[in-house]
Amino acid sequence: MIKKFLRWLILGGTLFFLTKALKDNWQGITAIRIDAVGWAIIAIATGVTLLGHTWAGWVWTWILRHLNQPVSSVQFIQVYLQTNLAKYLPGNVWHYYGRIMAAKNAKVSAAVATLSVLLEPLLMAAAALIVVLSSSLFVQTNTNLTVHIGQILGLVVVLCVLHPRFLNLLIRLLHRLKAKKSDPTSNSDVSFTMEHYPLLPLLGEMGFLGLRGIGFILTFYALSSLNLSQIPLLFTAFSFAWLLGLVVPGAPGGLGVFEATAIALLQNYFSAAVVISAIAVYRLVSMLAEITGAGLAWLDERLFK
């Protein structure tokens, strides 16, 4: 009951904030025009964002290989891209469910398939925190010491959770849950342990976030001129807003939470009308890239099956 109330509270708060921001800056937003060069840049941003999603699918295969489950990169990238749109469904878990089912159909054990989709958002969160902490060093902000300490502690916690010692506890827990639901005497997956820290997948997720950030900056550039000194600020704001969209409950695909956070972080540095317009266009760019990715994956699967 509390969780459901919290979701509605977050949804209501973000909608109120976004509605008010639109109302206060509507005149400036309608005055913005995108020229031919701007549309070309937006097209490039869409391509870069699509590349980011494709890269994320490839990183998922790295995670599975790290868990001693060699899989077909092409097949699992197709699965990743086709299930991506399901994250916008209520519950924000259906893309994970689709990937688990696809992995099981490819003879990956249920426990490892589940662990792989649990690891992915953890690795993404850790990557986002690393990017935020690194890029914020080049940004002049009024952030106090307490916030920086909180960010560092959060990063330490996530990095510790990714350690094999903690992940192996999770693996054993998943095995016990599976055994209770099926055959209590079964010993499948019980001998499975994770031996190495998932450093390569973590670096891969940083690459994914980098591509998504480039797409965001290009979208912003299509609507407003930028200088090099502003790029770290945009990258930091994007990474933090994307992270909150990932972890805050009740926001399928980060809808609303990402936008509200990005507006709050950037409106003091750029024209509010430009910020709101760029963020709205980027959401469209991101969804178009996801739809295109799912369509191309489906087509490739049918043509080369």
Residue pLDDT, tens place only, 104-113: 998 888 878 8
CA dihedral 58, 133, 272, 208 (to 10 degrees): -10
In this predicted model, what pLDDT tens digit does every residue of 165-207 receive, in sequence order? 887 787 677 666 656 655 444 444 445 667 788 889 999 999 9
294 has pLDDT over 90:
yes
Coil vs helix vs strand at 161: helix
Average pLDDT, the chain: 82
Give residue 98's pLDDT.
92
Lowest mean pLDDT across 13-22, 89-98, 100-109 = 13-22
Give residue 189's pLDDT.
46
Give residue 16's pLDDT.
59
Give residue 179's pLDDT.
60
pTM reported for the whole predicted model = 0.85
Q: Tell me the mean pLDDT in the region 8-14.
A: 59
- Hey, what are 172's tokens? 């054993």
User: At residue 39, what is the residue type?
Assistant: W
Coil vs helix vs strand at 137: coil
In this predicted model, what pLDDT tens digit does every residue of 211-232 receive, in sequence order? 999 999 999 999 988 998 889 8
Q: Give the C-alpha distances (Å, rounded to integers) separating 88 from 95, 177, 250, 277, 290.
A: 9, 28, 11, 21, 11
Q: Tell me the mean pLDDT in the region 114-130.
A: 88
Give residue 14's pLDDT.
63
Q: Tell me the mean pLDDT in the region 143-165.
A: 77
137 has pLDDT over 60:
yes
Give residue 45's pLDDT.
96
**191/23 Cα distance (integer angstroms):** 59
Q: Give the C-alpha distances (Å, rounded to integers) separating 87 from 61, 82, 84, 169, 249.
A: 19, 11, 6, 27, 12
Give residue 152's pLDDT.
78
